[in-house]
Amino acid sequence: MNSAFSEQILADKLAKLNGTQQCIESLSRWCIHHRSKAELVVETWDKQFHNSDMLKKVPLLYLANDILQNSKRKGNEFVAEFWKVLPAALKKCC
């Protein structure tokens, strides 16, 4: 797994995200690997979400779901950070 992390690397990965299970799970694992940067991961996810059309928002929501479900075993960093942005994100797409 590529261990380098930067906001730009994450933004590029989010831009390339598609709806396949493999793509979502792979990026989710990468984000969880960098859980010490959970705040920056979620801020970048939120920016990408708000700048995306509806078709791109669905895979981003799947990604958030996968990160939340699979990161709980390692800590609550992502739960705390996504809690700050998901309510507003969901209001925008419903």
Q: What is the pLDDT of residue 93?
A: 74
pLDDT at 88 over 90: yes
Q: How far apart are CA 16 and CA 42, in angstroms?
A: 17
Residue-range domains of the chain with CATH? 7-93 (1.25.40.90)
pLDDT digits (tens, 9 = 90+) for 5-58: 999 999 999 999 999 999 999 999 999 999 999 999 999 999 999 999 999 999
The two tokens of residue 74 are 């390692």
Q: 10 Å Cβ neighbour count for 34?
A: 18
Write down the pLDDT at residue 77: 95
Residues whose CB is less than 8 angstroms from the CB of residue 79 and which lie 6 or more positions away in sequence, other chains included: 68, 71, 72
Is residue 3 over pLDDT 90? no
- What pLDDT does residue 94 have? 62
pTM above 0.75, yes or no: yes
